[in-house]
Chain A
Amino acid sequence: MSQQVLPFYLVCDESSSMQGMPIDAINKSLPELHQEIGGNPVVADKTRFALISFNHAAQVLLPLSDLSNVTSVPALTAAGGTNYSAAFDLVRDLITQDVAQLKKDGHQVLRPTIFFLTDGQPNDTSEWPAAHQRLTDAGWAPHPNILAFGFGQADATTIQQVATIRGFIADGTLSPAQALQEFAQSLTRSIVRSGSSLDATGGMSLAMPDKVPGFTTVPADVI
């Protein structure tokens, strides 16, 4: 069996409403995630991680990487609006390129996973569903699994629509900073467990959180 690789994309809202505690919590968690995954030879070898931030536009802060080869993960800066379609379009292009490159390097690529984090309602209400449809189109071979996390102003319906397998809504039992720390830990755990998982055929499979402290789990919309 050729070497399997599981790509993870963290797509993170950095609109102006993330200013202060929320953005600080994320920026504090990312180096911990980097250290935990990059320092684990089993998981780092079998997973890849990319960081994409978005407000009115979307940008790649860290291209899809083996975290053991990364010296530091860039920080997010809060500013601007909330445009989901910019994020969905960008990540679709990235997945296309990244999967092709990984295959060219001789890897067997598992379906990419997106951890999508937002704290507000999108400004591009009329555009984002089409961009989301392009990203999750079952006819597009590398369409990703999406786990969506909402807090602050994000509402459960939107999170359900964005998620393809599971959504999580902050339930107010934890402060935003604590909830975001739990979010980051669930992402790290998911990567570590997936990277060290073995299914019956000796392959890897996605290990995802059932529950995240501070969040209520909502099922993804069945279309």
Chain B
Amino acid sequence: MIKGVSGRKHIVTDSEVAETADATDESSATASPDLEAEAPADVATDSEIQTGTSFPAPLHYGAPHPNMGELRGLPNVFQAVPDIIVDGADLTGLTVRAASLRGDDHRWYGETRQDSMGLSVVGDSAGIQLLLACVADGIGSEPLSHLGSALACRYLKVEIEASLDEILGHRNSPQITLIIQRVIARVGKRMAHHAEERGMDPKRLSTTLTAALVDMAPADGARYTLLFGVGDSSALVLTGGRFDPVWAGEAAGDTISDSGTAALPGQAGAARVIVRELAANDVLVICTDGLINPMKNQDVSAQLATSWAGEPIPGLVEFAWQLGFRAKSYGDDRTAVCVWGR
């Protein structure tokens, strides 16, 4: 039987299923949906197919409103996007999980998700390959910002590919900041052009953008990672069981003083750039404020640290379920990409 919810490419034997069930009985701390624990070992006959609703609801923190999370109507807006998207990859020595979930506020009002994300592998002319991961948070007050966040992710890939030789040539030089800021400026320019071609004020596409370029072949256990962003989305490294903010002065979940001001396509010059080397057991997280804000709650961040630091790395559906927790008063779209160096 293939373990469908948690674990990747992992064949589970009957005895392992039993162990999983036992472990779950003793401790529910890993907070994974336990579908597999009761799944039939062979092809299920009709009588064995479960009829109950055994899939666990998302975790709750702080007594969320009883109507929170109701899906209500489908969004009626130009190029509305699905409620949830899930993506990932199991690369050699690198595992990626990504999900973008519509916030409960947008669900209640039948509005579309404004967050976007993107995953791709980019390569330079010498054959060096890197993972490019990004998240973008369309500005809430702009009804078409879901288009902006999607465009930012799409154009970022184009511009990173076009400049990858230059980026890698200056990977450890102070010049990297300027190079990346130029890349971001060109993303902003493409977005503005896209808007103007359609007779739209570029401001309508306002979005944040946070991205990571992760080396696929680490040297001596230190994995080169280039992080950059515009606006208030965040990057964290889960190391030693704790989330460590990548940008100084930005403790996990702290108020970000300049939040809400910097956004593409207008203010690309504000792009923050940092190089960080990841250790073998570090987990890189880039996410929108829909995740970073509820992580102020210690229970939320402790749970996510437990879910992501251990083994096995969550499967796609499990990862989306982990992000689907409900915390009172936090109704933003929530998007995260996690990268494991294994």
List chain A positions with a Cβ less than 8 A from chain B.
1-3, 39-42, 44-46, 68, 106, 196, 198-203
Contact = CB atoms under 8 A, between A and B. Distances in A.
B5 to A, nearest CB: 28
Most buried by B among A40, A41, A196, A202: A41
A33 B104 CA distance: 22
A2 B255 contact: yes
B105 interface: yes
B109 A201 contact: no
B328 interface: yes
18 contacts: A1-B232, A1-B259, A2-B296, A40-B108, A41-B65, A41-B66, A41-B69, A42-B104, A42-B108, A42-B109, A45-B65, A45-B68, A45-B328, A45-B329, A198-B140, A201-B260, A202-B139, A202-B260
B141 A202 contact: yes
B67 A39 contact: yes
B330 interface: yes
B289 interface: yes
B330 A200 contact: no
Interface residues of B, number: 27
A123 to B, nearest CB: 42
A101 B70 CA distance: 30
B268 to A, nearest CB: 18
Contacts of B293: 1-3
B298 to A, nearest CB: 12
A201 B289 contact: no
A41 B141 CA distance: 19
Given A41-B104, A42-B108, A44-B65, A1 B255 contact: yes
Contacts of A45: 65, 68, 328-329, 331
Contacts of B328: 45
Given A1-B293, A42-B109, A45-B331, A202 B259 contact: yes
Nearest to B326: A41
A41 B259 contact: no
Contact of B141 (A1, A40, A44, A200): A200
B258 to A, nearest CB: 10
B281 interface: no
